[in-house]
Structure 1
Amino acid sequence: MPSSHQPAAPSWPTAWGAIHKGMTVIAADGYPVGTVDHVEGQEVILEGEGSSFVALSEINGVDGNRILLSPRGDATFGLGAEP
């Protein structure tokens, strides 16, 4: 009989709480800027083409399934991560 248990999404512990793949990243103005793909070093890499990212230092907190950025938190958004 197949298990109905879904495998847990990958998770990365941080000072603000665990960050999981699929979490929504919310800018200080309340608008979503992307969805977490993974954490690499000191950066949260977002899903999508171009691999945009936000720095861990720009996180204001983790709330449920959302990452809340500090008022300057979206400053790195769209710069494109280097592999």
Structure 2
Amino acid sequence: MTTPSTSSETVWTTQQGTIRKGMRVIAPDGSCVGTVATLDGDELMLEGGAHEFVAITQVDGVSADSVLLSDRGDATFGLGATP
């Protein structure tokens, strides 16, 4: 769960830790997928990378200057499911 955000906010408190605008978002392989632009509901909106957003459920942890993603969670959600 995250605290409500507005477009003027630059810091958000989540269960994973405190996320700030401009933090690097690091994939499980160590590559940077972008930087945090804002938090919109349960999605980190990114800028400067190949991805537009990352679900907050994919965040494994938060360091002093980076958001660390996990290779579990939403990346495999629904695989093998039948409609």
Query: Taking structure 2 as the reference length, what is the TM-score of the superposition?
Result: 0.71
TM superposition shift of 1:71: 1.2
Cα contact 1:36–1:47 (8 A) shared by 2: yes
Cα contact 1:28–1:73 (8 A) shared by 2: no
Map of 1:32 onto structure 2: 32
Q: 1:25 to 1:37 in 2, by over 3 A?
A: same
TM superposition shift of 1:47: 1.4
**Looking at CA atoms only, which structure, 1 or 2, has the larger radius of gyration?**
1
Q: 1:48 to 1:30 in 2, by over 3 A?
A: closer
In 2, the alpha carbon distance for the partners of 1:29 and 1:49 equals: 15
Query: Taking structure 1 as the reference length, what is the TM-score of the superposition?
Result: 0.71
TM superposition shift of 1:72: 3.9
In 1, the alpha carbon distance for the partners of 2:67 and 2:21 equals: 11
Structure 1 unpaired stretches of 5+:
1-8, 76-83
In 2, the alpha carbon distance for the partners of 1:36 and 1:62 equals: 12
* Identity across matched positions, percent: 49
In 2, the alpha carbon distance for the partners of 1:65 and 1:37 equals: 14
The worse-fitting range, judged by mean Cα deviation, of 16-25 and 48-57 is 48-57
CA RMSD of aligned residues (A): 2.4
The worse-fitting range, judged by mean Cα deviation, of 21-30 and 45-54 is 45-54
Structure 2 unpaired stretches of 5+:
1-8, 76-83
Amino acid at match of 1:31: S
For these two proteins, the number of residue pairs brought into alignment is 67
